[in-house]
């Protein structure tokens, strides 16, 4: 660890790694500091993919999309509370980010869909491996190749200011250290595992479990607030509808399972919601069942489209039945009812018309190819939409809306982009889009 760098990047998730590579490629000397002994943050847990519109990958799949539709669907999904300046930049730079990744041999050639969208724009690796682990592994290869210094087990505890400009950080390593730099990028993620901040902003969610890694405690928000940054939308916390939590670990069962064709049923074996409505609406529908959760139901064909299910099965989260009746018995649901529900659903898929709940996506395949599978799920705290206020140059803003000189932020630590509900696939996208932007804007600031 040197005592001086051009830019200190706090956090080794998608936003931090992307920002570091971008800054390095522009000739700066960055350092990445990570407080945990595990790299990659919540990014490693992301399962669905990366949303972007007007990409060449979409055209390869004969999907014609537009920035405007991407903007509108994200805006409607976010309750029209999104920061429109950030949303515009975000939706118009996803395709460039997909290309940038491809130039770095990170190929997201396959495409799927998540809740709240009408168009397939969720890009993922063609191996169908979960996006997060893949992205972090591949970005870390570039960090190594570029010889960008990265230290784990170093927790940043303060930002240093001199005459209103960022001048470095204080951090806890083995001892307390001071590292000087004229710029800092906050890439510290959210506060889904931060009980104190949840207690302050959303005490109603304190009893829920979380899908987040234990380091997601909102440090970046506290660091930024201490130097005068404005925080926005702090009470907007996303609860993910489909989390398996019957074991000590809460496993998020990604939207791709529904995107590829799974349905949700209640204890009576009946559907109760458009499974690909927004996370907010699906969560509410499951909550309204009275606290028992629900079951994702799928067949072998759907399972084969989502690599992660092999893993879920391996750790014991999946119930299997050779027939629908056998599956129903395993999960204690009335067999006739479940058979009726599935046969009605298969008819809806065939006619592409879900008369019960108006689902229009994730209807490429029916549920007819045994064995059949069920996964018990319930909602859990997943993502914090609130965070530090930035402009589209990723400059952190103070209460008066003025940039704090030298302080930048990207990724989940930022507030405003998602309004009151984040669409699946937009968080990986925001780490790459705004991570790149932060690297570029730091370069401009220092030039
Ligand atoms: P994003 O998706 O926005 O990149 P992630 O959750 O993937 O966010 O990554 C954020 C990373 O920042 C995590 O690995 C987290 O442990 C790390 N981090 C959070 N607070 C600090 C801190 N005070 N010092 C160093 N690293 C931190």
What's the confidence (pLDDT) of residue 308? Answer: 87
What's the confidence (pLDDT) of residue 403? Answer: 98
ipTM above 0.95, yes or no: yes
The answer, yes or no, to whether any atom of ligand 1 lies below 6 A from the CB of 218, is no
Q: Cα(385) to centroid of ligand 1, in Å?
A: 15
| pLDDT tens-digit map of 387-415 | 999 999 999 999 999 999 999 999 999 99
Q: What residue's CA is closest to ligand 1, atom 19?
A: 188
What's the confidence (pLDDT) of residue 54? Answer: 98
Q: Which of helix, strand or coil describes residue 210? A: strand
Q: Cα(319) to centroid of ligand 1, in Å?
A: 34
What's the confidence (pLDDT) of residue 154? Answer: 98
Q: Cα(20) to centroid of ligand 1, in Å?
A: 14
- 279 catalytically annotated: yes
Angle at 47 between CA 391 and CA 320, to 5 degrees: 155
Contact predicate 232/386, CB 8 Å: yes
Active-site residue, from 124, 258, 279, 422 = 279
Pairwise CA distance, residues 252 & 236, whole Å: 19
Give the DSSP letter of residue 143: H
Specify the pTM: 0.94
Q: Cα(298) to centroid of ligand 1, in Å?
A: 35
The answer, yes or no, to whether any atom of ligand 1 lies below 6 A from the CB of 122, is no
Ligand 1 nearest-atom number relative to CA 15:
4
Q: Which helix (H) or strand (E) holds 329?
A: helix 324-330
What's the confidence (pLDDT) of residue 57? Answer: 98
Q: What residue's CA is closest to ligand 1, atom 14?
A: 41
Angle at 162 between CA 159 and CA 163, to 5 degrees: 130
What's the confidence (pLDDT) of residue 307? Answer: 86
Pairwise CA distance, residues 147 & 56, whole Å: 31
What's the confidence (pLDDT) of residue 174? Answer: 86
- H and E: helices and strands count for the chain: 14, 20
What's the confidence (pLDDT) of residue 402? Answer: 98
Sorted by sequence, the CB contacts under 8 Å of residue 138 that are 6+ apart come out as: 104, 105, 106
Q: What residue's CA is closest to ligand 1, atom 8?
A: 189
Q: What residue's CA is closest to ligand 1, atom 11?
A: 11
What's the confidence (pLDDT) of residue 129? Answer: 87
Contact predicate 117/423, CB 8 Å: yes
Contact predicate 390/232, CB 8 Å: no
Which portions of the chain are predicted below pLDDT 70?
none
């Amino acid at each position: 660890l040197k005592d001086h760098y051009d830019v200190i990047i706090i956090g080794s998730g998608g936003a931090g790694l992307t920002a570091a590579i971008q800054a390095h490629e522009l000739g700066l000397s960055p350092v990445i500091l990570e407080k945990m002994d595990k790299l990659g943050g919540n990014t490693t847990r992301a399962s669905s993919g990366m949303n972007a519109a007007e990409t060449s990958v979409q055209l390869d799949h004969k999907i014609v999309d537009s920035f405007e539709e991407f903007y509108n669907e994200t805006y409607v999904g976010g309750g029209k509370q999104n920061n429109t300046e950030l949303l515009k930049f975000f939706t118009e730079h996803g395709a460039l980010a997909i290309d940038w990744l491809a130039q770095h041999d990170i190929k997201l050639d396959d495409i799927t869909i998540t809740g709240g969208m009408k168009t397939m724009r969720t890009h993922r690796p063609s191996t169908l491996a979960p996006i997060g682990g893949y992205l972090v592994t591949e970005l870390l290869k570039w960090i190594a190749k570029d010889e960008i210094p990265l230290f784990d087990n170093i927790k940043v505890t303060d930002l240093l200011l001199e005459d209103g400009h960022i001048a470095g950080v204080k951090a806890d390593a083995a001892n307390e250290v001071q590292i000087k730099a004229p710029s800092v990028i906050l890439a510290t993620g959210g506060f889904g595992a931060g009980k104190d901040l949840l207690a302050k902003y959303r005490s109603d969610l304190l009893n829920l479990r979380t899908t987040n890694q234990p380091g997601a405690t909102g440090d970046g928000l506290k660091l930024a607030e201490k130097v005068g940054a404005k925080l926005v939308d702090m009470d907007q916390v996303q609860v993910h509808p489909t989390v398996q939590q019957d074991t000590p670990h809460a496993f998020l069962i990604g939207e791709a399972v529904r995107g590829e064709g799974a349905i949700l049923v209640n204890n009576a074996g009946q559907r109760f919601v458009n499974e690909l409505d927004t996370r907010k609406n699906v969560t509410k529908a499951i909550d309204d069942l009275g606290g028992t959760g629900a079951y994702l139901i799928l067949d072998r064909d759907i399972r084969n489209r989502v690599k992660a299910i092999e893993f879920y099965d391996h750790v014991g989260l999946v119930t299997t039945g050779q027939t629908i009746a056998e599956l129903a018995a395993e999960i204690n649901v009335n067999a006739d009812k479940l058979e009726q529900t599935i046969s009605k659903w298969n008819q809806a898929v065939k006619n592409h018309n879900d008369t019960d709940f108006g689902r229009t996506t994730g209807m490429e395949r029916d549920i007819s190819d045994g064995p059949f599978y069920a996964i018990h799920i319930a909602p859990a705290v997943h993502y914090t939409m609130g965070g530090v206020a930035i402009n589209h140059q990723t400059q952190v803003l103070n209460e008066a809306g003025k940039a704090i000189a030298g302080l930048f932020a990207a990724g989940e630590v930022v507030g405003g982009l998602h309004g009151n509900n984040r669409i699946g696939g937009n968080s990986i996208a925001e780490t790459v889009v705004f991570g790149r932007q932060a690297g570029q804007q730091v370069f401009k600031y220092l030039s």
